[in-house]
Amino acid sequence: MIQERSKEYKFGNENVDGLIRDLAHLVGSSETESLRKEMLTTVVKLGMESNDRGDLKLVNNVLKELRYSLKIFTPYRHQKKVIIFGSARTKKKSLDYKMAEELAQKLTAKNYMVVTGGGPGIMEAGNKGSAHGKDFALNIKLPFEQKPNPFLDEQERVINFKYFFVRKLIFIKETDATTLFPGGFGTHDEGFEMLTLVQTGKSKPRPIILMEPKGSTYWKNWINFVQKELANKKFIDPSDMNLFQVAKTVDQAVGYIDEFYKVYHSIRYAGDKTILRLNREISSKTLKLINREFKDILVQGKIEVSPPAEDEAKESEHLDLPRLSMKFNLRDFSRLCEMIRAINKD
């Protein structure tokens, strides 16, 4: 059966569509021309369909914030980045502050980059501890609390956001690991969103680490609540409790991040296949182990060594790396994270 071609996305006026095509052709590369055409069409449609100034201002501001953020992060995509989340109210003399500062020091010494919210408290500690040129700050404009901290010396990597949701999108899209220090509503909002996105596959697998110094019970109490009220009452799967780890020391946290990317490199979806790209080949013993222990997350078939997918080859995506391919059920993402940890033990 011949698949019917999808309807072309356009404005519907020949003259306007012609102008859009011409403009899309004038800027950027040919590889992304069709996407630019669709984006321009959306802007024109929005302008014709809405006279609400508030709606148009919102879309305009969001596009500006996204464009600028992507421009800032693009040159650094080759370096892994770690978020440091936590309270803006944490005191400078607290153990949490000192721990966050030390974490940033040790991460940037290992060539990770650090991303904070740019404000005081834990965010300030993260920027303070980072090596020169190794940090970002995603500041949110608020009438209180969230004033830029004094350790943002690299202003070209400071982004000021109007909208929380755009800021959170960039936090997640542009980073590879998350650390969470004790905090209030904002910290929990960021933490639960991170867990939800990984749990549902809307974000790529990553380490999510709950940070607290020895003697603190902050995350212990939080975990007790999540276990009792969410896991035990079937609001989440038992395996979802493995989406995060607790670190009582900085070295333990850095070790968790290093370990997660020891063998695992990245993930890609191609048709009905899920592809795990690896830093090196794994042993036949480990391949047998993951096929045995994680067959429950497959729709059919086995986890197999594979060449790059056609889409990967077209886009020249890490063609030198070995790969595993499988028909993943696109549901058990917490189990997928467990499998990645098993692969990393090879």
Where residue 150 sits, what CATH number does that domain have? Answer: 3.40.50.450
Q: How many residues does the chain have?
A: 346
* 162 and 210 part of one domain: yes
pLDDT band at 57 (very low <50, low <70, confident <90, very high): very high
pLDDT of residue 6: 59
Which residue has 């098993």 as its token pair? 342
* 122 and 243 part of one domain: yes
* 171 and 220 part of one domain: yes
Count the neighbouring beta carbons within 10 Å of the beta carbon of residue 6.
6
Q: What are the structure tokens assigned to 203, written together?
A: 């974000």
Three-state SS sequence of 199-228: HCCCCCCCCEEEECCCCCCHHHHHHHHHHH
Characterize the bridge pairing of strands 323-328 and 273-278.
Answer: antiparallel
* 70 and 81 part of one domain: no
**DSSP bridge pairs for 164:** none
Question: Do 315 and 275 meet the contact criterion of CB atoms below 8 Å apart?
Answer: no
Characterize the bridge pairing of strands 135-140 and 245-247.
Answer: unpaired
Whose CA is closest to 195, among 157, 217, 226?
Answer: 226
Question: What are the φ and ψ backbone dihedral angles of 147, each rounded to 5 degrees?
Answer: -90, 140
Characterize the bridge pairing of strands 113-116 and 135-140.
Answer: parallel
* Residue 252 lies inside a defined structural domain of this protein: yes
Count the neighbouring beta carbons within 10 Å of the beta carbon of residue 122.
30
* Residue 1 lies inside a defined structural domain of this protein: no
* 226 and 272 part of one domain: no
Characterize the bridge pairing of strands 158-161 and 135-140.
Answer: parallel
C-alpha Rg value of the chain to the nearest Å: 22
* Residue 8 lies inside a defined structural domain of this protein: no
* Residue 139 lies inside a defined structural domain of this protein: yes
Which residue has 């006026």 as its token pair? 13
pLDDT of residue 185: 96
* 102 and 242 part of one domain: yes
As a whole number of angstroms, the distance between CA 146 and CA 50 comes to: 33
* 87 and 184 part of one domain: yes
* 239 and 290 part of one domain: no
Question: What are the φ and ψ backbone dihedral angles of 105, each rounded to 5 degrees?
Answer: -60, -50
Question: Do 344 and 276 meet the contact criterion of CB atoms below 8 Å apart?
Answer: no
* 290 and 315 part of one domain: yes
* 167 and 65 part of one domain: no
As a whole number of angstroms, the distance between CA 336 and CA 314 comes to: 26
Mark which of 214, 232, 260 sits at the end of a domain: 260
* 53 and 109 part of one domain: no
From the number of C-beta atoms within 10 Å of its C-beta (0-12, 13-18, 19+), residue 62 rates as middle
* Residue 142 lies inside a defined structural domain of this protein: yes
pLDDT band at 344 (very low <50, low <70, confident <90, very high): very high
* 20 and 157 part of one domain: no
* Residue 274 lies inside a defined structural domain of this protein: yes
Supply the pTM of this predicted model: 0.92
Per-residue pLDDT tens for 300-322?
A: 999 999 999 998 998 889 999 99
Per-residue pLDDT tens for 183-224?
A: 999 999 999 999 999 999 999 999 999 999 999 999 999 999
* Residue 105 lies inside a defined structural domain of this protein: yes
pLDDT of residue 30: 86
As a whole number of angstroms, the distance between CA 311 and CA 328 comes to: 18
Q: Domain tally for the chain?
A: 3
* Residue 2 lies inside a defined structural domain of this protein: no
Mark which of 217, 239, 260 sits at the end of a domain: 260
Mark which of 211, 239, 260 sits at the end of a domain: 260
**Residues of the domain holding 319:** 264-344
Q: Which ranges of 10-75 does DSSP label H, i.e. alpha helix?
A: 14-26, 33-49, 53-73
pLDDT greater than 80 at residue 339: yes
Question: Do 147 and 153 meet the contact criterion of CB atoms below 8 Å apart?
Answer: no
